[in-house]
Amino acid sequence: MTGAAPEAGQGPRGRRPGPTETRAAILDAARALFGDKGYDGASVRAVARAAGVDPALVHHFYGGKQGLFVAAMRFPVDPAEVLARFATADRAAFPETMARTFLEFWDDPDRRAPILALFRSAMTNERAAAMMREFVTAALLERVAEGQGVPLERVQAAAAQLVGMAVLRYVLRVEPMASLGRDELVALLAPALRAHFG
């Protein structure tokens, strides 16, 4: 009879994909698109289309493109977490906060290993370098520049000093840099970083 409600148990046949399968499909599609198009070239809509889901579902699971990238690429640092720490620091304390936050992430072996893997990939593969460059610039460096009211190149110069320190301390293990305590390093780094933020 037309318009009658379906009986219990009727409906589309087959098991509907659950959240685990849906998330896996989204992450697989995201990895492929980020790898092919880079961070800037991939979009949430394109990932959703490739995964066969509604874009709203991607936003529901990952909050947007940045969260999707962090999950799909297993990026060990969530820029939202870093920016939340930075937002609570006043201008005078920002250099110390920046140095301390950077060191806390690098001092954690569970985060350091994947960061180093990403750096090594970026140094030998232009596609990996472009993807990491686009993500770090858009998700972190540009936002720090905006939040601190300084030109982007100043934030990049400060980041370069921190990355250089990380290479000496964690990759080459140059002494005494490799053995200095976190507070000692923050005291050494903060004045140099302050010069960039004025």
Confidence label for 126 from pLDDT (cuts 50, 70 and 90): confident
How many angstroms separate the CA atoms of 15 and 97, rounded?
50
Q: What is the pLDDT averaged over residues 152-165?
A: 96
- The fourth-level CATH superfamily of domain 19-72 is Homeodomain-like (1.10.10.60)
Please report which confidence band the pLDDT of residue 156 belongs to, taking 50, 70 and 90 as the band edges.
very high
Q: What gap in Å lies between CA 142 and CA 156, rounded to an integer?
A: 9
Tens digits of residue pLDDT in 32-58 = 888 788 788 889 999 999 999 999 999
Alpha helices in 14-151 (DSSP H): 19-41, 44-51, 55-62, 65-72, 79-87, 94-107, 109-124, 126-136, 142-148
pLDDT of residue 136: 92
Examine the pLDDT at 17 and tell me if it is beyond 80: no
> What pLDDT was estimated at residue 18?
60
pLDDT greater than 50 at residue 11: no
Average pLDDT, the chain: 86
Model confidence over 54-104: pLDDT tens digits?
999 999 999 989 889 888 878 888 888 899 988 888 889 999 999 999 999
Q: Answer yes or no: are the C-beta atoms of 158 and 193 closer than 8 Å.
A: yes
In the chain, where the domains are located: 19-72, 79-197
Whether the predicted pLDDT of 7 surpasses 80: no
Q: Is the pLDDT of residue 5 over 70?
A: no
The reported pLDDT for the residue numbered 198 is 73
| pTM, full prediction | 0.74
> How crowded is residue 147: how many other Cβ atoms within 10 Å of its Cβ?
15
Of all residues in the chain, what percent carry a pLDDT higher than 90? 53
- Read off the amino acid at residue 72: A
Q: Which fold has domain 79-197?
A: Tetracycline Repressor; domain 2 (1.10.357)
Which residues 6+ apart lie within 8 Å of 151 measured at CB?
145
